[in-house]
Amino acid sequence: MQAIQTDLPDEIFLSLKETPEGLSREIRMAAAAKLYELSRF
């Protein structure tokens, strides 16, 4: 499996009131939903 890595400032987690793991899960779900919407998933 391939992985994508990105650097985010710590402030993003505080402003979104999310943990790194929670935000990662949220981003994966949003990406999957968008790919499904585009009929690519």
Taking the C-alpha atoms of residue 31 and residue 2, their distance in angstroms, rounded to an integer, is 15
Output the pTM of the full model. Answer: 0.76
pLDDT tens, residue by residue, 10-21:
999 999 999 999
Mean pLDDT of 23-38: 96
pLDDT of amino acid 5: 94
% pLDDT > 70, the chain: 100
Task: For residues 18 and 30, give the distance between their C-alpha atoms in angstroms, rounded to a whole number.
Answer: 15
Structure token digits, residue 22: 């929670």
For the cut 90, the answer to whether the pLDDT of residue 41 exceeds it is: no
* Alpha carbons 39 and 12: distance in angstroms, whole number: 30
